[in-house]
Chain A
Amino acid sequence: MPPLSADPAGDSAALPIVGIGASAGGLEALRDMLAPARAPTGMAFVVVQHLDPNHESMLAQLLDRHTSLEVLQSEGGERLQADRVYIIPPGHGLAIRKGVLHLTDFAQPRGLRRPIDDFFLSLATDQQANAACVILSGTGADGTTGLRAVKEHGGVCVVQQPETARYDGMPLSAVGTGLVDFVKTPGDILGCLTTFFSRRSGASEADAQEASVVADHVDDLCRVLRTAIGHDFSGYKRSTLIRRVERRMHVLGIETGRAYLERVRRDSDECEALFRDLLINVTRFFRDAEFFETLRTRVIEPLLRDRAPDEDVRVWIPGCSSGEEAYSIAMLFAEAARTTGQPLAVQIFATDIDEQMLGQAREGTYPAAALADIPAALRERYTILHADRFTIVPHIRDMIRFSNHSLVKDPPFSRIDLLSCRNLLIYFDDRLQQSIMPLFHYAIRPGGFLFLGPSESVGRFDHLFPPIDQQARLFQRSPGAPSYPIDLPGSPRHRTPRREREDRGNSSLGDESAVVRRLVDRYAPPALLLDQDGGILAAFGKLGRYFEFPVTRTGGSSAVTLARPGLRNVLGPLLRQARDEKKRHVARDVAVEGDFGTQTVEVICDPLADGSLLFVFRENGPFQPAQDRDLNDLEPGDDHVEALEDELRLTRHRLRSAVEELETANEELKSSNEEMMSMNEELQSTNEELSTVNDELKGKVDQLTIANSDLRNFFETTSLAMIVVDAELRIRSFTEAATAIFPLKPTDRGRPLTDVTTRLATSDYLDDARHVAAGTEPTQRRVVSRDGKNVFSLRVLPYRTPAGGIDGATLLLTDITEALALERQLAAERERLDLAVKAGGIGVWEYCPETGETILDAVEHQLFDVSGEEATRMDDLIGRIDEADRSHVEEALRRTAAGTGDFEASFRVRLKDGSVRWIKGFGRLVTDSRPARLVGVSIDVTPEYAVAETRELMLREMNHRVKNLFAIVGGMVTAAARSHDDVRTFANDLRERIAALGRAHSLASPTGEQQAIDLYGLFEATLAPYRDHAGIEMTGPNVLVSRDCLSPLALMLHEWATNSVKYGALGAGPAGRLTIGWHLEDDALVVEWNESRRSGTQIAPGKGFGTLLVDTSARQLGASVSREIADDHYRLVLSLPRAVTVDG
């Protein structure tokens, strides 16, 4: 169980980074993919698109319009943040280190660049399981290699569904690796990634427990896989196994290890998928190129040089995957052989357990993108490019045998000169690694070489493999007998009986081979093992009689060339027949001519399973010594055949050089083509961008067309006279209305304005236009037409270019004749109105309910008795209003401000001197005013209120007086009733008294204001009925008495007058005399009543109703009455308190 910190789930809290690779057709796919993105996605996106390095890219702007995520073109140095999309800039590659983007320079020439692969590789190593890669539309195969890296480090890989891609090259190539997790339409990719990462982070929260649950099932999974696939992973590193199993679970959305185990058991496809995932490793041509260089100088060249003449160099590459490494080594050998002129006697065994990978390897075709890994010299010589893929040339291909072989469970190869096993051991756990080393020791011949991956070592077996170059991980097998590792790492668990039998056989191989060897050497007929071209692979027994040895360099190891005459012409056909028909063939009675005679033999050719051919030579006749050694005429046929074959060789040689020349030419063409293709690719991207931009421009042109037509319509229909001139005052355009002032024709465009006649009286406008066009402020002036009938407002404005500069001027003429007339009329009306307002003492106010501000005119100031600051706030004005009226004024204002009615209110205003003023206000909301505004007037209505008050007061007074009179009359009736027996006299008396009261009261002012009565008038009115009875004389100063005295005085005078009629002067006819005099004393008003007395009448004061009336009246007045009765006259003195008089 690895420590948890090594578990990729441990840093899953980190931001997942999605690398997106796209090329031709990519813009559309990117748009579709990113359009549904809604922050927060919790992911960062890096887009690597093939771009033309010479063309500025608009990709960022184009994408930005279609996604809610922030899109920016990388400038290098950005730390990746969630919900942002980073776009590769043109002319650079991208790499990511510690979550920061870096721009890189391309090492390869244009055409061989693989920016997507490069970025994915750095993404995989930097982000491990946090990496995701997406491959979208594009031709070629960029991204395929990077994808493997992402997968190897535990990332996830999504590919656009090839059918939905405009160019399906890149998606198809990616899908072809068999390593893709999801194949989706662009629109679904984002959702798929979100689900994947959320599932993973969800799983990481379940944390160690979950991991251990998966770990619990690893053994079971290995068992299931061994049963189903036949390969045992139990020796592989646990951490890697768990990580990759978990990854499969996330892809499938399976939560528990148990469920996944069930799925694998049930589903053979998933079993296969897991198997593939477990086997993912990255391989490429010349991976770690510098180590390959070491390999070349330290191993390959020496091996070829020191090769035993009859032995091939044997190379074994276990875990070859898709074959890149095998081909790399093959190329190195071929190149070394070519440069040193040595024969290419090399056999390479490349093995793997993954049949699918082996299939790819056998095919020997790779994405053109991988070409960049191959050194240029080798590339040209050993590869053939077809469109977007290349193949390895056949003679390299033929050096290698790919076969299915398990390092773990199958017996190893032997006598190996070079064993290259790179980046395979890292997947094995310690135990398995330790058991592999002795196996390697066995396989490699003493002095042979072992080439491991950069992070692998021989562990504790350094005594078996002393290092040659520790850094390159190049080791040499120590001398010493190999001990065959009987206990194959995987063998104890072998199940197939066949394997078991083989194992048993192997166990006794050491003894058996000696026996067989002896049998072959001594007792069997001589035999020769040939390859399909007749090359000698092995020889058994004594063959000197049939072949000429030693082999010369030039002849190579061809058996046909070496065969002695007689055998030579048989061997070729026999070999071809047996090879083609794969059946045993025999050639009987072949006479082989040796140096010493002729031997008849039977040649049997037996094709073996691996394609090699076994030739057995059985003597079937006695040896016939040469009869005449000087006679050579038996060989004409031989010479002929030999000549033919020489000719054939020559022809072949020529053919080969022709072919080679052709291939070179072809090669050059291909590389040109290649470059064209990639440029085409870039151009395609650029073209897509341009066509998108073009679409947008088209939209803008449409908008401009509409705007232009709007403008034209405006020009033609507006009543505004407008002329646009350029800096030289040449007419640029004008409106229809302008022709009324300037007789312009359409052909006048371009003519100087100075040349155009005008109906205006002056030509000031030319100067204005000149100045404004030169950059001065806009001008405005009033101009009159020549006939004086029209007045225009002329505004000259600068004509501004979109850049902000001034290029000419715009002349705007507005006919303001009517407006001016209207203005004058308005001014006159306003004057009248002002006059009216002034005359009416009307105050005008404005009020803004929102701010509470008010504006008052002078009259209003005076009405409210306010000044300065306090006149600008409604609150202060309200404060002026009498408390009793405040609330209804405020309410009325509110209603008006709300628009429910006009303002009308009467209220009292307390002035500063304490007096009160009645004001009536009217107001109304100004429509269409923002903010809302109330305007109104106020009038002083204090006089009206005063009059009304007076009237009311008077009415109350009158009412009181009337009631008082009634009360008095009532009282008199009561009192009189007591002293009268006769109703008639009673009524008469009463009538007289009431009449006197009435006369007196007619003196009281009807207005009620007058509180004083002229004493003279009172006397005269009261005595008026007796005016003609006698001479009445009244003397006294002008005295006014209180109105309160009216009734008592009148009653008293009436009493006295009636008495006088009965007994005194008034009844005496013309001779009677009555004198009334009055004068003021210090504290009294004294009235004297003197009358001449008639003789014989007697006066009986103190009795009767009359006396009661007089007494009561005197008491009421607070007066005293004295009487003097003489013979001839009667005198009454009434002394009133001074208080009854009123100052006039």
Chain B
Amino acid sequence: MADRVMLVEDELFVALDVQMTVEDAGLTVEGPYTSLAEAEAAIAHLDPHALLCAILDVRLRDGEVFPAADRLKAAGVPIIFHSGHADQQALQRRYPGALVCGKPCSPGTLRNSIESIAQHGPDQHAAE
């Protein structure tokens, strides 16, 4: 049973907040990773089956998160974008099935997104 949630967020106070929300939901946070480099390094040795989903900030200190997102998408990991500036429609065009939570995002919204993935499973969610 996948119960890990990968978190990529360069703002640590925000990461703290998200981590708490995730942990409140009974899940474990993988990360938080604060840069694209860290995130990519982590994906290289993580077991995608152990990941329930990934919560990604778009703009990181060393670039945009998309290379990492592409790899996660290829591995079939559901993605929740948590971003303050990203164009929601562009993101959904590029990553069909991905959820987008605009920053700042209430913990409830984030929790609902995670729960919906947990309930439906990655496959059903991707098919939505």
Chain A residues packing against B (C-beta within 8 Å)? 956, 959-960, 963-964, 966-968, 970-972, 974-975, 978, 1044, 1047-1048, 1108, 1112-1113, 1115-1116
A970 touches B17 (CB 8 A): yes
Partner of A963, one of B15, B21, B34, B85: B85
Residues in chain A near residue B16, CB distance under 8 A = 971, 974-975, 1108, 1112
B84 touches A960 (CB 8 A): yes
| Minimum Cβ distance to chain A for residue B25 (Å) | 14
B103 within 8 A of A: yes
A967 touches B13 (CB 8 A): yes
A971 touches B14 (CB 8 A): yes
B26 within 8 A of A: no
B13 touches A956 (CB 8 A): no
Across the two chains, which residue of chain A brings its CB closest to B82?
A967
Question: Can you list 11 contacts pairing A with B, beta carbon distance less than 8 Å?
Answer: A959-B84, A964-B14, A967-B14, A967-B104, A968-B11, A970-B17, A970-B106, A971-B14, A978-B20, A1048-B12, A1116-B13
**Cα separation A1116 to B10 with both chains bound (whole Å):** 8
B12 touches A964 (CB 8 A): no
| Minimum Cβ distance to chain B for residue A414 (Å) | 137
| Minimum Cβ distance to chain B for residue A1142 (Å) | 15
B11 touches A967 (CB 8 A): yes
| Minimum Cβ distance to chain A for residue B9 (Å) | 9
Across the two chains, which residue of chain A brings its CB closest to B84?
A963
B107 within 8 A of A: yes
- Give the most central of B16, B61, B103: most A CB within 10 Å: B16
A971 touches B13 (CB 8 A): yes
| Minimum Cβ distance to chain A for residue B92 (Å) | 19
Residues in chain A near residue B15, CB distance under 8 A = 971
**Cα separation A737 to B104 with both chains bound (whole Å):** 91
Across the two chains, which residue of chain B brings its CB closest to A973?
B17
Q: How many residues of B contact A (CB 8 A)?
A: 18
Known: A968-B11, A1116-B11, A1116-B12. A960 touches B85 (CB 8 A): yes
Residues in chain B near residue A966, CB distance under 8 A = 103-104
B14 touches A956 (CB 8 A): no
A971 touches B85 (CB 8 A): no
B79-96 vs A: 1/0 string, CB under 8 Å?
000001100000000000
| Minimum Cβ distance to chain B for residue A171 (Å) | 103
| Minimum Cβ distance to chain B for residue A179 (Å) | 106
Known: A960-B85, A963-B85, A1116-B11. A971 touches B103 (CB 8 A): no
Q: Told that A975-B13, A1112-B13, A1115-B12 touch, could you supply 10 new A-B pairs with CB distance under 8 A? A: A960-B84, A960-B85, A963-B85, A963-B104, A970-B106, A971-B13, A971-B15, A1112-B12, A1112-B16, A1116-B11
Number of A-B contacts (CB under 8 A): 60
B103 touches A956 (CB 8 A): no
Residues in chain A near residue B11, CB distance under 8 A = 964, 967-968, 971, 1116
- Give the most central of A967, A968, A970, A974: most B CB within 10 Å: A967
A972 touches B104 (CB 8 A): no
Across the two chains, which residue of chain B brings its CB closest to A1048?
B12
**Cα separation A591 to B122 with both chains bound (whole Å):** 181
**Cα separation A966 to B85 with both chains bound (whole Å):** 13
Chain B residues packing against A (C-beta within 8 Å)? 11-17, 20-21, 34, 59, 61, 84-85, 103-104, 106-107
B13 touches A972 (CB 8 A): yes
**Cα separation A1048 to B12 with both chains bound (whole Å):** 9
Partner of A974, one of B12, B20, B59, B61: B20
Known: A959-B85, A960-B85, A974-B20. A967 touches B12 (CB 8 A): no
| Minimum Cβ distance to chain B for residue A973 (Å) | 8
**Cα separation A974 to B16 with both chains bound (whole Å):** 9
**Cα separation A541 to B34 with both chains bound (whole Å):** 181
Residues in chain B near residue A1108, CB distance under 8 A = 16
**Cα separation A1112 to B34 with both chains bound (whole Å):** 12
Known: A963-B104, A966-B104. A956 touches B17 (CB 8 A): no
Across the two chains, which residue of chain A brings its CB closest to B32?
A1115
Residues in chain A near residue B61, CB distance under 8 A = 1044
Partner of B17, one of A963, A971, A1113: A971
| Minimum Cβ distance to chain B for residue A974 (Å) | 5
Residues in chain B near residue A1112, CB distance under 8 A = 12-13, 16
Residues in chain A near residue B13, CB distance under 8 A = 967-968, 971-972, 975, 1047, 1112, 1116
| Minimum Cβ distance to chain B for residue A155 (Å) | 98
- Give the most central of B12, B13, B21, B106: most A CB within 10 Å: B13
Residues in chain B near residue A971, CB distance under 8 A = 11, 13-17
| Minimum Cβ distance to chain B for residue A1045 (Å) | 12
A964 touches B84 (CB 8 A): yes
**Cα separation A716 to B40 with both chains bound (whole Å):** 101
**Cα separation A968 to B103 with both chains bound (whole Å):** 10
**Cα separation A959 to B59 with both chains bound (whole Å):** 14
**Cα separation A381 to B60 with both chains bound (whole Å):** 145
**Cα separation A881 to B15 with both chains bound (whole Å):** 47
Known: A968-B13, A1115-B12, A1116-B12. A975 touches B84 (CB 8 A): no
B104 touches A970 (CB 8 A): yes
| Minimum Cβ distance to chain A for residue B87 (Å) | 11
| Minimum Cβ distance to chain B for residue A999 (Å) | 17
| Minimum Cβ distance to chain B for residue A981 (Å) | 18
| Minimum Cβ distance to chain B for residue A1012 (Å) | 16
Residues in chain B near residue A959, CB distance under 8 A = 84-85
**Cα separation A889 to B78 with both chains bound (whole Å):** 45
**Cα separation A312 to B103 with both chains bound (whole Å):** 158
| Minimum Cβ distance to chain B for residue A1117 (Å) | 9
A956 touches B85 (CB 8 A): yes
Residues in chain A near residue B14, CB distance under 8 A = 964, 967-968, 970-971
| Minimum Cβ distance to chain A for residue B39 (Å) | 16
**Cα separation A157 to B103 with both chains bound (whole Å):** 116
**Cα separation A973 to B84 with both chains bound (whole Å):** 19
Closest 10 CB pairs of A and B: A971-B17, A963-B84, A971-B13, A966-B104, A1116-B12, A967-B14, A968-B13, A967-B104, A974-B17, A1112-B12
Partner of A967, one of B17, B20, B21, B34: B17
| Minimum Cβ distance to chain A for residue B58 (Å) | 11
Residues in chain A near residue B59, CB distance under 8 A = 960
| Minimum Cβ distance to chain A for residue B11 (Å) | 6
**Cα separation A960 to B14 with both chains bound (whole Å):** 13
Known: A967-B17, A1112-B13. A974 touches B107 (CB 8 A): yes
Partner of A975, one of B20, B85, B106: B20
| Minimum Cβ distance to chain A for residue B120 (Å) | 27
Residues in chain B near residue A972, CB distance under 8 A = 13
**Cα separation A967 to B14 with both chains bound (whole Å):** 6
Residues in chain A near residue B104, CB distance under 8 A = 963, 966-967, 970
**Cα separation A1048 to B61 with both chains bound (whole Å):** 15
**Cα separation A376 to B8 with both chains bound (whole Å):** 143
Residues in chain B near residue A968, CB distance under 8 A = 11, 13-14
**Cα separation A970 to B15 with both chains bound (whole Å):** 11
| Minimum Cβ distance to chain B for residue A872 (Å) | 44
Partner of B84, one of A967, A978, A1047, A1048: A967
**Cα separation A960 to B106 with both chains bound (whole Å):** 17
**Cα separation A1047 to B106 with both chains bound (whole Å):** 21
| Minimum Cβ distance to chain A for residue B47 (Å) | 26
Across the two chains, which residue of chain A brings its CB closest to B10?
A1116
**Cα separation A964 to B57 with both chains bound (whole Å):** 11
| Minimum Cβ distance to chain A for residue B49 (Å) | 29
| Minimum Cβ distance to chain B for residue A1000 (Å) | 14
**Cα separation A1048 to B15 with both chains bound (whole Å):** 14
| Minimum Cβ distance to chain B for residue A612 (Å) | 143
| Minimum Cβ distance to chain A for residue B14 (Å) | 4
Across the two chains, which residue of chain A brings its CB closest to B15?
A971
Residues in chain A near residue B34, CB distance under 8 A = 1116
Residues in chain B near residue A975, CB distance under 8 A = 13, 16-17, 20
Across the two chains, which residue of chain B brings its CB closest to A1112?
B12
**Cα separation A956 to B83 with both chains bound (whole Å):** 13
| Minimum Cβ distance to chain A for residue B12 (Å) | 4
**Cα separation A978 to B11 with both chains bound (whole Å):** 20
